[in-house]
Structure 1
Amino acid sequence: MTKTSSDDVSQAQIPLSPSQVKPPPDGGLKAWTQSVMGHLVCFNTWGYLASFGVFQSYYQNELGVSESAISWVGSIQIFLIFFVGTFSGRALDAGLFRPVFCAGVLLQVLGVFMTSLATSYWQLILAQGLCTGLGSGLQFCPTMGLVATYFDQRRVFAVAFALVGSGTGGMVFPGLVKGLLPTLGFGWTMRVVGFVMLATSLPAIGLLQTRLPPRKSGPLVELAAFRDPVYTLFIVGIWLNFWGMYFAVYYLGAFGRTVIGFSYSESTNLIIVLNGAAVVGRLVPAYLASFHLGPLNTIIPLAAAAGVLMLCWAAVHSSAGLYAFAVLYGFCANGLQGMWPPTLSSLITDLSRAGTRIGMGFTIVSFACLTGPPLGGALVAKAHGYIGAQMWAGVAILLGSLVLLGARTAKVGWRILVKV
């Protein structure tokens, strides 16, 4: 009897080999529950980050700080969600998902509540930039990795549905700020935002469950990856895309107020429309990439269209034109943002190196997100207008789309009718 019990315990402590791990269910209640919980995580992380345009306009008026300086607050958040994600994503491999995720929720909510007490620029950098960004980074990448483990054929769509949370959060949080700020003031408005984050994080803490046993991760850096022209060209192209892409996300509301003459409430509506387009912009490209075109064939026209739209923004001089730009650019930019991780993973032929190479891509792109919006703000201040920044951002995104086309050529040559 004792011997049998001891044998059972010893067998339970032996980790499962890859051959013993069951294939992903690719559907079912538990699998789709993980996707829904991933949606809530993106609601709180990317949805809050995508709402920074609301704060950009408010901080410029209340703090008297330059556009470029304010942009650093939002840029630090996006930088950290990618940069920290490089390391936090490995927590899933190591079996440490839950403590890392809970630490992320704690830091994010703490950062929002500390933002409610901030009265100076450096306090916003620490609270909204560093603390919230670090918390978002600890949540986002491990959760997306967890959702992906439950799906096979439906993986791109399931992850895309989770990423749609950036659109729903990007509508809800600006709406809260718009409705509560005039009556409650900045402090209590941010506390309400923090309570909403806490309430939507609790189901995720309870229902997100890892499916795979802990496993050893690869190295953090693999320099040999850059000998692959497809990988290198793709990373350079995405870097250029992200360098210019977030300028409109941050400055669209400020442009509406200073150039078109919008009120703060109207400029907030503009941010809501921009983020609302993400709902369609995430799902439609994911469907086309999964079942018809392939991810690389889908992301290239999205990048080219986003670059052209950024250049066309310079010709917008009416409220109707600005709303049209918000819808179209919101669709293309969010489609581009949602498609680049699955596209990168599809280009990596050696799956044993996928985690390392995707992590390297996240790290490199994080620096584009860190420097792009502040550079755009500096160009706005230098020219006393938006035309220079719009041209820089549009050209950067278009150059990125051409480099992505080069990556496709390196992959399949000049063949057109190839799903890749």
Structure 2
Amino acid sequence: MEQDSDLGFPDGGWRAWSVVLGSWCAMVPSFGLMNTIGVFEAWLADHQLRHYSRASIGWIFSLYTFFLYFGSVQVGPLFDAHGLAPLLIPGCVGLVASLMIFSVAGGTSLSNISADSAKAHISTRIEYYQFMLGFSILGGISSSMVFTPSVACIAHWFLRRRALATGIAATAGGIGGILFPVLISVLPDNLGFPWAIRIIGFLSAAFCFLSVVLLRTRLPLTSAQKGIVDMKALKELRFSLLTAAIVLIDFALLIPLTYLPSYAQSSGLGDSLAYNLSSILNAASIIGRVVAGYFADRFGRFNVMIVTTLICSVLTFALWLPAQSDQAAILAFTVLFGFWGGTAISLSPVCVAQISKTQDFGKRYGMTYFFVSIGALVAIPIAGELLKVQTSTMGHDDYASLIIFCGLVYSCACVFFILSRGVSVGWGLRVF
């Protein structure tokens, strides 16, 4: 970041904070949907796709997350070279369209159709295909075109207070993760699942419009670069170690985001409370992201990430694993994990920016999330397969293997953050 000190960052003022507000509006739908995948997974497993395994259903959401992150590989360099509008506007249109397609795919419940009926078999295949096409592919790519530029814009306006600004913007994912699960929990009984999704689409359109109005860039465009991977950056050890850490922390985060509601259902908490766990988790993450951003600017971004990944690992082993049907323990884990786990979204880009020039941030951020996308592609299906194997062995839903796996991945992420920090500034205590 010292390389950027001569670029005259405002680090505040009406224009800079309006960009943060615009980024916040962009993240409500783009990351709010990712924070709702646990509710979507639980709903589809009980209704439209009830004849599919949870591992198969998991591919719908792993592909969405894959395209959300993989799109950053192209979106980052395109943002650096061509600016905001050519990416943000088509991304907003595609995101809203994907939700409308999702609502059509979810228009027929299969709960009353025989599993061995040929007609039902054809219907489920068509619906599964529609979920994949509309939500996973179109929704994931479009969300990437909305999310990535919104994060990069903040780096144009903030340097010293960048973690705080990004943390505030990232609370939007928590807001979406509160609002959307509540709508899915309440609206289907009165309006049906399709209209619940359409209402989410209308709200997303409003937030997207505000993001188009408010987001602005400040720094000059850079020349387009060939290739999607900056080999020089990959040879930089601290960057490679940081990329590995971010891959692992995002991998681990997806597991409770996806499977916590269904875990609660299997533990006897009831559908209503199980769906609302996503809202509770995301509410806690809002506070956690702001607090983490505040302390990260004062005590170091890498230092805060090391602490949060360590605590997430401890919470997974010490609270989630033994919780079983203990409602108080499940709720405690949900709140505490939401508070500490939310920093993965807000501080990871800031850590990349800390060891990158601002003009190169888009490409380096995109390259990091190219590798994250590969992890995201397999995280949910791997967790689903672990659940499937453990369940078949025990004769009932058993999440122990899934939870242990999640905790181990968090532990590995912590180690890689420590290594990246050590290579960057040494092993002593200092702000970094």
TM-score between the two structures when normalised by the length of structure 1: 0.90
Report SS of the residue matched to 2:389.
Answer: helix
Structure 1, unmatched stretches of 5+, are 1-18
RMSD: 1.9
1:391 to 396, 401, 404: 404
Residues 228-307 of structure 1 aligned to structure 2 (within 5 Å): 228-259=236-267, 261-291=268-298, 293-307=299-313
Quote the offset at 1:351 in angstroms: 5.7
Moved more, 93-102 or 43-52: 93-102
Shift in CA distance, 352/180, structure 1 to aligned 2, threshold 3 Å: closer
Matched ranges for 1:341-356 at <5 A: 341-348=349-356, 353-356=360-363
Query: Which residue is 2:202 aligned to?
Result: 195
Q: Secondary structure at the match of 2:10?
A: coil
Contact 2:78-2:224 at 8 Å conserved across structures: no
C-alpha contact (below 8 Å) 1:274/1:330 kept by paired residues = yes
Give 1:295 shift. Answer: 0.7
Report how far residue 136 of structure 1 moved: 0.3
- The 2-side partners of 1:351 and 1:229 are apart by 19
The residue type equivalent to 1:139 in the other structure is V
Rounded to whole Å, the distance in 1 between the matches of 2:245 and 2:343 is: 15
CA displacement at 1:218 relative to structure 2: 4.1
Q: Which runs of structure 2 are paired with 1:57-68 in the superposition (5 Å)?
A: 57-62=42-47, 63-64=49-50, 65-68=52-55
What pairs up with 1:156-171 in 2 under 5 angstroms?
156-171=163-178
Partner AA of 1:240 in structure 2: L
Q: Which amino acid aligns with 1:386?
A: Y
- Extract structure 1 runs of 4+ deviating beyond 6 A: none
**Offset, 1:217:** 4.0
Q: Is the 8 A contact 2:80 2:359 kept in 1?
A: no
Q: Tell me how far 1:108 sits from its aligned partner.
A: 0.6
Whether the 8 Å CA contact 2:152–2:362 is kept in 1: the answer is no
1:308 is matched with 314
Aligned-partner SS, 2:104: coil
For the Cα contact (< 8 Å) 1:295–1:342, is it kept in 2? yes
Residue 300 of structure 1 and its aligned partner are, at CA, apart by: 0.7
Q: Is the 8 A contact 2:42 2:262 kept in 1?
A: yes
Q: 1:197 to 1:388 in 2, by over 3 A?
A: same
SS of match in other structure, 1:211: coil
Name the % identity. Answer: 27
1:341-379 C-alpha deviation (Å, 9 max, x unpaired): 11122134x666544332211111111111111100111
Aligned pair in 2 of structure 1 residues 340, 307: CA closer, same or farther (>3 Å)? same
Question: What is the Cα deviation at residue 116 of structure 1?
Answer: 0.6
Among candidates 73, 87, 104, match of residue 117 of structure 1: 104
The 1:364/1:113 distance shift into structure 2, 3 A limit, reads same
Whole-angstrom CA distance in 1 between matches of 2:316 and 2:189: 32
Structure 1 residues 62-109: Cα deviation after superposition (integer angstroms, max 9, x where no partner): 112111111111111221121112211233323342132111011111
CA contact (8 A) 1:95 1:213 kept: no
The amino acid that maps onto 1:243 is: F
* Equivalent residue in structure 2 for 1:333, among 330, 341, 358: 341
Gaps of 5+ in 2: 107-126, 392-397
- Does 354-363 or 53-62 show the bigger shift? 354-363
Question: How far did 1:322 drift?
Answer: 0.6
- Of 227, 234, 259, the match for 2:235: 227
**Structure showing greater relative contact order (alpha-carbon pairs closer than 8 Å, 6 or more residues apart):** 2
Q: Distance in 2 between matches of 1:367 and 1:303?
A: 20
Q: TM-score, normalised by structure 2?
A: 0.88
Residues 133 and 355 of structure 1: CA distance in aligned 2, closer, same or farther (over 3 Å): closer
Q: Is the 8 A contact 2:277 2:334 kept in 1?
A: yes
Which aligned pairs between 1:203-222 and structure 2 lie closer than 5 A? 203-219=210-226, 220-222=228-230
Paired amino acid for 2:274: S
Counterpart of 1:367 in structure 2 is 374
Change (3 A) 1:151 1:69: same
> For 1:41 and 1:323, how far apart are their aligned partners in 2?
29
State the alpha-carbon separation in 1 of the partners of residues 80 and 344 from structure 2. Answer: 27
Shift of 1:125: 1.0
1:223-276 Cα deviation digits (max 9, x unpaired): 2333322222222222222222211110000000012x1222111211100111
